[in-house]
Amino acid sequence: MAEAGLTPMQVLTAATRNAAEFLGAKDLGTPERSKWADLIVLDRNPLDDMKNTRTIYAVYIAGNRVK
């Protein structure tokens, strides 16, 4: 998507919130209270460069850190 010209924020939004909305998944897509929490924590900001999505510091599934 970035190669097609979308900004990093547009790519992240399309892959998270918009994808959840398309699927009709009301408990996914954005970090909010009462929503399911599978997420990654990055060492670098993906808004600076989408390749920073490869700098994974931690992974959480259902709000619990995966070791």
pLDDT tens-digit map of 17-56: 999 999 999 888 888 888 888 889 999 999 999 999 999 9
Give me the pLDDT at residue 65, please.
Answer: 95
Please tell me the pTM assigned to this model.
0.77
Between CA 44 and CA 56 the distance in angstroms is 8
Give me the pLDDT at residue 36, please.
Answer: 83
Q: 28 vs 8, 9, 32, 34, CA distance in Å?
A: 20, 18, 9, 10
Q: Retrieve residue 19's tokens.
A: 């994808």
Amino acid at site 26: K
pLDDT of residue 57 exceeding 90, the answer is yes
63 vs 47, higher pLDDT: 47
pLDDT of residue 62 exceeding 90, the answer is no
